[in-house]
Chain A
Amino acid sequence: MTTSRRKFIKISALGIGGVAATASAINVFGANSYLDDLVKQKVSKEFKRTATYCEVCFWKCAAWAYTNEEGEIKKIIGNEDDTHCEGRLCPRGTGGVGMYTDEDRLKTPLIRTTVNGEETFRKASWEEALDLIASKFKTVIDSHGAESIALIKHGAPGAHLEHLFQAFGSDTIAEPAYAQCRGPRETGFKSTFGTWVGSPEPTDIRDTKCLVLIGSHIGENMHNSQVQEMSDAIDNGATIITVDPRLSTAASKSKHWLAIKPATDIALMLSWMNVLIEEGLYDKAYVEKYGLGFDELKEHVKQFTPEWAYGITTIKPDEIRKTARVMAHAAPSVIIHPGRHVVWYGDDTQRARAMAILNGLLGSWGRRGGFYFKESIKVPKFPHPEYHHPKWGWKEIGAKYPLAEMGITSEVLRAAIPSEDNKYPVKALMVAGTNITKSIPDRKLLEEAIEALDFMVVIDTMPMDVTGYADVVLPECTYLERYDGIRSATNRHPSIAVRIPAVTPKYDSKPVWWMAKQIGERLGVGEYFNYNDFKEVIEWQLKEMGTSLEEMEKIGVKNYPRKSGPLYLNENENYQFTTASGKIEFYSHELKNLGFDPMPVYTSHPEPPQGFYRLNYGRAPMHTFSRTANNPNLNDLMDENKLWVNPKVARILNLKSGQEVWLRNQDDITSTFSIKVRVTERVRWDSVYMVHGFGHQNKKLSRANGKGINDTQLISKIAVDPIMGGTGMRGNFVTILTENPHKNTEI
């Protein structure tokens, strides 16, 4: 039995300890030599290790999966040669083993059926499920065109499905990572510096003298190398300035925590620009050489004094001045961090612009301790016929938002709702690797769209809530059980990492590359999948890149030298930025021409009415959104979210820590489940806070079901960013109910 064997290992260590005991009198019984020998044999046996990269979040740290003789995955350890993790995974990566062992995993394909008038799922064979998908897709292709089949995806499986969709002629593809997450910052930075920030962010945190975090909570988001570098920066004596209405972990590490009133960040940043310019603290040579529109900016921010900002942000003028001077003193080794999840109030591209402009004024882009010039290596595309040219796709669906550079999930969903002026009807939907009931706000839109669909497929490893809407559910095996695309990292230097199965897929789960190929063949586009095993694709690609699968199996990660030149600008370098003007655009003609503000302006946003509190949400270091809530290892660390309430509010409402409450939002939407109160000084009195990703409705998630509240359920008021279509979610207000509103109803 494996359990007793494991215990033997432990005893071995202890027994040996007993022998070595200095005060042997303490150990009355002495060591058990019989056990010792048994254990020594076991200890001397090494685990087998297999190269992989993590899929518990999007950071994709390279790692080693350790398996024992029974072929069980025992632990996962970071790959020391990997710049994403430097040999140290985060709790989710270490707990990734729970993704594999979770007994609640999807085990077989499922097909929706009706039994005695009730809709339910029945187990199906792969053959049957794939045939059904292909025939339903064919029907849509014949009647509406391939474009009417949409894909909403996330993570590594997304790439295989994107290939499938483009093979059969659909470009109707979107992912929440854009319009529900980092889209605005990419647009904001691109319109300023000409380039996306990208992932991982090219922030030179380890060498910075001053790190400014605006609502970004590194340490609670475990973006691994960012967290590691922030720790290095603390060691190096860097000053951290955090702007956050909540005492985040990062705020607690900061020399300056600016406890800002929510929704007023742009006002603070305008006043910082004012100070930097009025006091002549900006990098004059840099701005002169690389900037465009500085005079307009100077004129624009003249009025935005710290005194003006004080009334809006509640940050005292001397604090605003002091922090601006700290940044200038550190410049150019200063980072106004672009953040990651930045869809807040609908003016998010402009807020990202303000961050970018501050970096421009401080001269930190392309400077040591600021932003470095990142580099990656291109993975050659495995040969396949040319893709079709769809008549329309994500671009046309999102055309209302001129600077959208990826599909907008909410618009793709809207396209599923029939209306006279809908020229781009979405009829079938495939969702993979993202639980859209929690990753996309506005449940009404979601349900209306899904209701209108002819057919919906969900691919996941777990019975997430979204699977409940599907006609067909396909069980994906976890990252530990499959080959996947090569991870090409964008960093200080290029590197690649491979994912090799450590074990064979559990249950009847399959890798997505296989599903894509099977569906492709059934749709008559088999020529795009000219391989029997995805391993062949990687083998070919690695060979093209001057290595081999054999080598990569041994090293897991391969680092390549930089080819694009130095990490930072040379002094007085004549550098061309990739904006239209070749300069850092403080004043954006592009935005102006599209009818938007050419420079950021502050607009006030609605405030919670009496008795309501702003609903803020964020991350916990041991969870990745909703996908890890049921992971046995990570659920152990945090099994529910709590409602953070300021003691003043708790006193007024007579709330105690641990008390169960329900929430109702401004649109009269009541949370399905309850949440426990956590009375803490760490939040303001005008807002409440919870960790995102809890309140799972699917009863098949035995650990996560009914635990905590799903914040997304309460986000029904969306402030859409008119520039790129991001869905601002921080303008929702909740009231706290102490009586169970569902007392007489069944959930």
Chain B
Amino acid sequence: MRYAMVIDTLKCVGCSDCVVACQTENDVPHGYCRDWITETVDGSYPNLDLELKSERCNHCDNAPCVRCCPTGASHIVDGGIVLVTENECIGCGACIESCPYDARYQHPDGYVDKCTFCHHRLEKGQLPACVSVCPTKCMYFGDLDNPNSEVSQLLKNRKHKTLAPEAGTNPHVFYLI
């Protein structure tokens, strides 16, 4: 089992529904977010490219946040999901600094928080909140170890990229381009 998220930038309209769905699902306090939208514009008027995409923790195989965590609060569980155990986190912020995706933030209650791939929903057989709500259905989630899964098939058949590949983190959020 290796969970991965695949996001189709050709369909994403950057509406931020994923962001607000995550907030209501995970009680993310106002003013913070576990996922967010980025916009990249290339070229000059009127020869332009615009890319909108939803970003979050990349649930890396080689996760710098896990390596640098002094208490082991940051850890990897089955399926490759990177999690933080709140009551073990001392809020030192080393993981925040080490993440090349800026995916972590300090929760007002002191611990460090980030995307969990909605681990609690997966256990109930549900998709992550962001994926389940996306109006453009541009987000896909599944098991990369299964070659027939939707995510495996999309990555097999479509051109894609990951973010900051140079960081060598082996991220598991993929973008179709």
Contact = CB atoms under 8 A, between A and B. Distances in A.
A169 to B, nearest CB: 44
Contact of B10 (A7, A74, A234, A250): A234
Nearest to A87: B132
Given A11-B86, A17-B119, A634-B20, A621 B14 contact: yes
A653 interface: no
5 contacts: A74-B24, A247-B48, A252-B49, A257-B46, A681-B43
A633 B20 contact: yes
Contacts of A594: none
Contacts of B27: 6-7, 10
Contacts of A228: 135-137
Contacts of B19: 91, 636-637
Contact of B50 (A14, A235, A249, A633): A249
B45 A684 contact: yes
Contacts of A89: 17, 133, 135
Nearest to A35: B87
Report, nearest first, the 6 A-B pairs whose CB atoms are least far apart.
Answer: A13-B120, A28-B72, A219-B13, A252-B50, A621-B15, A259-B46
Contact of B23 (A251, A636, A683): A636
Interface stretch (B74-82, B144-152, B166-174): B74-82
Given A28-B71, A682-B48, A12 B135 contact: no
Contacts of B16: 91, 621-622, 637-638
A330 interface: no
Interface centre among B13, B75, B123, B135 (most CB of A within 10 A): B135
A682 B41 contact: yes
B15 A91 contact: yes
A250 B12 CA distance: 10
A32 B120 contact: no
Interface in B113-161: 116, 119-120, 123, 132-138
A222 B15 contact: yes
Interface string A1-40: 0000011011111111110111100111100100100000
B109 to A, nearest CB: 7
B72 A29 contact: yes
A251 B133 CA distance: 24
A531 to B, nearest CB: 34
A646 B48 CA distance: 13
Contacts of B84: 14
A26 B72 contact: yes
B104 to A, nearest CB: 14
Nearest to A230: B136
Contacts of A583: none
A29 B85 contact: yes
Interface centre among A85, A622, A634, A638 (most CB of B within 10 A): A622
A96 B15 CA distance: 15
B66 interface: yes
Interface in B23-57: 23-27, 30-31, 33, 41, 43-46, 48-52
A16 B83 CA distance: 11
A49 to B, nearest CB: 14
A700 interface: no
A26 B75 contact: yes
Interface in B78-115: 78, 81, 83-88, 109
Contact of B133 (A18, A77, A219, A252): A77
B135 A681 contact: no
A231 interface: yes
A33 to B, nearest CB: 13
Nearest to B42: A681
A17 B14 contact: no
A231 B11 contact: yes
A9 B120 contact: yes
Contacts of A247: 41, 45-46, 48, 50
A336 to B, nearest CB: 21
B17 to A, nearest CB: 4
Query: Chain A, interface size: which category?
Result: 35 or more
Contacts of A15: 85
Contacts of A87: 132
Given A11-B87, A90-B17, A222-B135, A17 B11 contact: no
Given A43-B120, A94-B21, A637-B19, A646 B77 contact: no
A636 B134 CA distance: 18
Given A26-B72, A681-B48, 15 more contacts: A11-B86, A14-B119, A21-B77, A27-B88, A88-B134, A90-B17, A94-B17, A219-B13, A227-B136, A228-B137, A230-B136, A247-B45, A252-B50, A252-B51, A636-B31
A622 B135 contact: no
A7 B120 CA distance: 13
Summarize B's interface: helix, strand, loop or mixed.
mixed
Nearest to A685: B45
A16 B78 CA distance: 11
A74 B23 CA distance: 10
Interface of B: 10-11, 13-17, 19-21, 23-27, 30-31, 33, 41, 43-46, 48-52, 66, 71-72, 75-78, 81, 83-88, 109, 116, 119-120, 123, 132-138
Nearest to B70: A28
Contacts of A728: none
Given A10-B26, A13-B119, A622-B15, A27 B72 contact: yes
A20 B88 contact: no
Contacts of B88: 27-29
Nearest to B52: A249
A617 B67 CA distance: 48
B45 A13 contact: no
Nearest to B19: A637
A646 B45 contact: yes
B58 to A, nearest CB: 17
B144 to A, nearest CB: 16
A705 interface: no
A707 to B, nearest CB: 15
Nearest to B71: A28
Contacts of A259: 45-46
A15 B73 CA distance: 11
Contacts of A232: 137
Interface in A466-489: none
Given A21-B75, A90-B15, A637-B19, A14 B136 contact: no
A219 to B, nearest CB: 3
Contacts of B13: 219-220, 227, 231, 249-250, 253, 621
Contacts of A621: 13-17
Interface string A628-656: 00001110111000000011000000000
Interface in A667-712: 680-685
Contacts of B71: 28-29
B41 A681 contact: yes
Nearest to B113: A10
Given A78-B133, A249-B52, A20 B86 contact: no
B77 A22 contact: yes
B78 A21 contact: yes
A682 B49 CA distance: 9
A249 B20 CA distance: 20
Given A621-B13, A682-B50, A231 B135 contact: yes
Given A13-B120, A257-B46, A94 B133 contact: yes
Nearest to A85: B135
A75 interface: yes
A116 to B, nearest CB: 38
A208 interface: no
A9 B119 CA distance: 12
A97 B28 CA distance: 14
A12 B120 contact: yes
A95 interface: yes
A684 B45 CA distance: 7
Nearest to B28: A636
Contacts of A251: 50
Contact of A18 (B11, B41, B75): B75
Contacts of B132: 87-88
